[in-house]
Amino acid sequence: MEWEWYTRPEEIVHIDERYQEAYTYWVEQLTTADVTKIIVEDGFMYGSLTLDYEKLEREPQNIGHYFVGPDFLWTLGFDDVHCESVSRKGFATPIEAFYELLAERMDPYFHGIDEFEERLLIAQREMTGQVPATFMNEIFGLRSEIERWSDTVTPYKELLMAGREAFLDLDLNQLRSYQLANYRVERLLTLVEHYQGDVIAMTDLASTLSNFRGNEIMKALTVFTALTTPVVAFGAIWGMNFKVMPELDWSFGYGFSWVMIIFFTLLIQVWLRRKNWMGSLLQFPNQTIPPQYREEEKNEKTNKSSV
């Protein structure tokens, strides 16, 4: 079957009345859009697709526009190198050519996702040592980037599903180009989902470590404040400016004050230790085994050894 592939907006194309309304909307609205959009009709589909992968934060995004029918293919914004490579393969239908174009367009994505993996591994190794102050910013940056990767790859998956909806009379799974595009999408999404799990786990771990560290600091400050309370309290009492203060005339008043301060400091320290508030924050119940169960366990081990 003969079909036409158009890649220039200025090309003069005869549009069948069946596609006239959709074509007019595509040319006037979608070819100027800067977002991904997929519209499915009976026997054809059209829309726009985000093509960026190296600089996901770049604005405006690089957008490719497509219009696929049973006897023509129109693409705008796609790389000429990819279009020429697909054109040389001489596909029998525009649908095969379109999905081959998608498959070739996704191939460089794996290089970008491998670079992301390297940065992720570096961040994971940093968690085993002294974590820098900017570590949380790195994790949030990785999390934002992997979400953008998901947003970039998911429309390709939707295009595979949309093709089955638009071309119901065709078994797209029999087309090699469709299978290739499908395999690459599945592989990319598997990687993205795996790295999303890694980044979420790192975020949770970093948050847990940060909270634990903050609790340790607060505990240390609280214990320090409690232990210095006698010094502050007695210092405040004997620092008053009352004229009648018997302790000031005592021969051993200075020593008495130190005895009182040390005594109450030790008393507070003993009280904190008895409450177990000066040890580790993570305290698990003692797994004490009653004597009868301990004796039964000992007998059971003896019987097993004799057997």
For the segment 89-99, the average pLDDT, to the nearest whole number, is 92
Q: Is the pLDDT of residue 124 over 90?
A: no
- 211: confidence class by pLDDT, cuts 50, 70, 90: confident
The structural domains of the chain, with segments of one domain joined by +, span 4-213, 228-306
- Which helix (H) or strand (E) covers residue 12, if one does? none
Close Cβ partners of 108 (under 8 Å, ≥ 6 residues apart): 53
SS3 call for 152: helix
Higher-pLDDT residue of 148, 185: 185
SS3 call for 275: coil
Pairing of strands 4-6, 72-76: parallel
pLDDT digits (tens, 9 = 90+) for 236-261: 888 888 888 888 888 888 888 899 98
For the segment 100-105, the average pLDDT, to the nearest whole number, is 92
- 72: confidence class by pLDDT, cuts 50, 70, 90: confident
Say what the pLDDT of residue 3 is. 82
Q: Is the pLDDT of residue 195 over 90?
A: yes
Q: Is the pLDDT of residue 301 over 70?
A: no
For the segment 208-225, the average pLDDT, to the nearest whole number, is 83
Q: How much of the chain exceeds pLDDT 70, in percent?
A: 84
Least confident of 171-180, 186-195, 221-230: 221-230
Say what the pLDDT of residue 307 is. 45
Q: Which residues of 4-43 are buried (b: 16+ CB within 10 A; e: fewer)?
A: ebeeeeeeeeebeeebeebbeebbeebbeeeebebbbeee
Q: Is the pLDDT of residue 41 over 60?
A: yes
Say what the pLDDT of residue 131 is. 66
- 159: confidence class by pLDDT, cuts 50, 70, 90: very high
Q: How much of the chain exceeds pLDDT 90, in percent?
A: 23
Say what the pLDDT of residue 161 is. 94
**Triad 300, 305, 306: Cα angle to 5°:** 100
Peptide bond into 246 cis (omega under 30): no
Least confident of 5-14, 256-265, 281-290: 281-290
Give the Cα separation of 70 and 45 in Å (integer).
10
Q: How far is CA 65 from the centre of its chain?
A: 29
